[in-house]
């Protein structure tokens, strides 16, 4: 059975529709620093409003421990959603309490309510299925139908993702449909040459993706903190750089497998080594095989790919028809160590075919470095869910909507 879409719900005029978005935006001093996930939710919300629905938006933010915490309130999100929609958004200060009931009861056709952070209720993420089902039933009382549109949570069995979809007529929103289409193009029949660029801090976070995509890609480019485990697997010393020593044998296995498959694993030839983890740290570019020959010896740490590596990565990316990128190339938040990530991002904007920025830190990086969403083929909001899809794993939040791998 194919994924159920909004059209399968029939006429929504005058109906209360609960839409599960992923509005888990980064905040700094109570201000939204990247509203990409809110913008990504607009097509589905606007489609429901245009259909005359009464829209109840639900989401989580951060990781509160099943109780209200002011720093995780969705209040700033409600304000930004109001600005982006160009219409009033009523904010309920609880999830299923008096404020939520009053706000939902006051909805008129084409109106919008945003409930407070779902994770303020312990039932949302409870391991006990009955507790999740009980919370889902309270949420279901607010709607006539349910639209799931938070791709970033579809890999979780959570009350608002899984149980709620069973209690009401349910369907996937436009964001989920778009994400699935892109991810399918990355796994089933990608146009060649196909390049995957992986960064971020840990190899262990990407092992499943490497294993699943290795037989499908032409080139695999490795940057970020995970590059040092690859260098160490080749026998190089990496100073105080991030290293997962327990993954060395696994990485050697992937290097051997890539050689067997004819896949080009492109590792850094130079690295930006620093005296400490700080924006004002002394730093210099070192060959990747002589990191400890820097002035700081074994205490030096690599915080970015070097310029020669960045240029090589960009060359491979620009020559590709399909590119998937997940994970920054260095500590882009610190200006001296942002060049590698910026070079890779710029190269992706020049890809003639499909270029996909794989959510999370990568999406935040491209926006922080001055790029615009429209410069890329697709910026995923999926994060961990996208990675699990690319690993070939089961995603319960999609299966409950009729999707089959």
What string of DSSP letters covers 10-24? ---TT-EEEEE----
Question: At residue 162, what are phi and psi to the nearest 5 degrees?
Answer: -110, -60
The three-point CA angle 145-146-147 to 5° equals: 130
Q: Which of 148, 178, 208 is the last residue of a domain?
A: 178
Sorted by sequence, the CB contacts under 8 Å of residue 92 that are 6+ apart come out as: 99, 100, 102, 103, 104, 113, 114, 115, 116
What distance in Å separates the CA atoms of residue 195 and residue 216, rounded to the nearest whole number? 9
For residues 256-277, give the mean pLDDT: 97
CB 231 within 8 A of CB 238: yes
To the query of whether residue 14 is one of the catalytic residues in this protein, the response is: no
**What residues are paired with 172 via a beta bridge?**
5, 148
Q: In what order do the strands lie in the sheet with 264-266?
A: 264-266, 219-222, 194-198, 322-326, 354-357, 378-379
CATH number assigned to the domain comprising residue 258: 3.40.50.1260
Binding-site residues from annotation for ATP: 206, 302, 333, 359-362
C-alpha closest to that of 146 among 125, 172, 120, 123: 172
Residues 337 and 222 in one domain: yes
Catalytic residue among 360, 382, 383, 397: 360
- pLDDT at residue 1, as a whole number: 54
Residue numbers in the known binding site for (2R)-3-phosphoglycerate are 37, 119, 156
- The residue-averaged pLDDT of 6-13 equals 96
Q: How confident is the model over 63-107, as pLDDT tens digits? A: 999 999 999 999 999 999 999 999 999 999 999 999 999 999 999
Detail the residues annotated as belonging to a binding site for substrate: 22-24, 37, 60-63, 119, 156
Sheet with 170-172, edge to edge strand ranges: 90-91, 112-114, 54-58, 16-20, 145-148, 170-172
Catalytic residue among 39, 101, 157, 202: 202
Q: What is the pLDDT of residue 243?
A: 95
Neighbours of 299 (CB within 10 A): 12
**Active-site pick, 37, 54, 216, 342:** 37
The model's pLDDT over 38-53, given as tens digits with 9 standing for 90+, comes to: 999 999 999 999 999 9
Pairing of strands 27-28, 31-32: antiparallel
Give first-to-last CA distance, the chain, whole Å.
Answer: 11
Q: Which of 97, 110, 353, 384 is catalytic?
A: 384
Please indicate, yes or no, if residue 88 is contained in any of the structural domains.
yes
Mean pLDDT of 217-240: 96
Mean pLDDT of 22-31: 91
**Are 360 and 255 part of one and the same domain?**
yes
| 202 assigned to active site | yes
Q: Which residues are annotated as a binding site?
A: 22-24, 37, 60-63, 119, 156, 206, 302, 333, 359-362
Question: Is the same domain home to 227 and 118?
Answer: no
**Number of domains composing the chain:** 2
Whether 146 and 27 share a structural domain: yes
pLDDT the model gives residue 390: 86
Distance CA 295, CA 223 (A): 23
Confidence of residue 398 (pLDDT cuts 50, 70, 90): very high
Q: Which of 104-118, 142-156, 191-205, 355-369 has the lowest mean pLDDT?
A: 355-369
Mean pLDDT of the chain: 94
Q: Which two tokens stand for residue 18?
A: 């609960």
Which domain-ending residue is among 124, 145, 178? 178
Distance CA 67, CA 37 (A): 24
Strands 322-326 and 354-357 turn out to be parallel
Tell me, yes or no, whether 194 and 224 share the same domain. Answer: yes
| pLDDT tens digits, 335-378 | 999 999 999 999 999 999 999 998 667 888 898 899 998 999 99
What is the span of the domain harbouring residue 108? 6-178
């Amino acid at each position: 059975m194919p994924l159920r879409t909004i059209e399968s719900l029939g006429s929504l005029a005058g109906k209360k529709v609960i839409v599960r978005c992923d509005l888990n935006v980064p905040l700094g001093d109570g201000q939204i620093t990247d509203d990409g996930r809110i913008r990504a939710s607009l097509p589905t919300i606007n489609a429901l409003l245009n259909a005359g629905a009464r829209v109840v938006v639900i989401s989580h933010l951060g990781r509160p421990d099943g109780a209200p915490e002011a720093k995780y309130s969705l209040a700033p999100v409600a304000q930004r959603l109001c600005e982006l929609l160009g219409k009033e958004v009523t904010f309920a200060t609880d999830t299923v309490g008096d404020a939520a009931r009053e706000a939902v009861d006051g909805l008129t056709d084409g109106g919008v309510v945003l409930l407070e952070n779902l994770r303020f209720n312990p039932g949302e993420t409870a391991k006990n299925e009955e507790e999740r089902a009980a919370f889902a039933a309270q949420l279901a009382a607010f709607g006539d139908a349910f639209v799931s549109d938070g791709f970033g949570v579809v890999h979780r069995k959570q009350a608002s993702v899984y149980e709620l979809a069973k209690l009401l007529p349910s369907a996937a929103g436009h964001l989920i449909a778009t994400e699935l289409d892109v991810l399918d193009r990355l796994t089933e029949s990608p146009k060649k040459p196909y390049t995957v660029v992986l960064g971020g801090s840990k190899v262990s976070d990407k092992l499943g993706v490497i294993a699943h995509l290795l037989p499908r890609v032409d080139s695999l480019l490795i940057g970020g903190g995970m590059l040092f485990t690859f260098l160490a697997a080749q026998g190089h010393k990496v100073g105080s750089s991030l290293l997962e020593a327990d993954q060395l044998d696994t990485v050697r296995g992937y290097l051997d497998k890539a050689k067997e498959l004819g896949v080009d694993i492109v590792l850094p030839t130079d690295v930006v080594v620093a005296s400490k983890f700080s924006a004002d740290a002394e730093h210099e570019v070192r060959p990747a095989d002589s990191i400890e020959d820097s002035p700081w010896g074994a205490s030096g740490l690599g915080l970015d790919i070097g310029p020669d590596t960045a240029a090589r990565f960009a060359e491979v990316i620009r020559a590709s028809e399909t590119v998937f990128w997940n994970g920054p190339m260095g500590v882009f938040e610190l200006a001296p160590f942002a060049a590698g990530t910026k070079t890779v991002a710029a190269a992706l904007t020049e890809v003639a075919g499909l270029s996909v920025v794989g959510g999370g830190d990568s999406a935040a990086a491209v926006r922080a470095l001055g790029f615009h969403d429209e410069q890329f083929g697709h910026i995923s909001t999926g994060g961990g869910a996208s990675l699990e899809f690319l690993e070939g794993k089961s995603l319960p939040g999609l299966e409950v909507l009729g999707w089959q791998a």
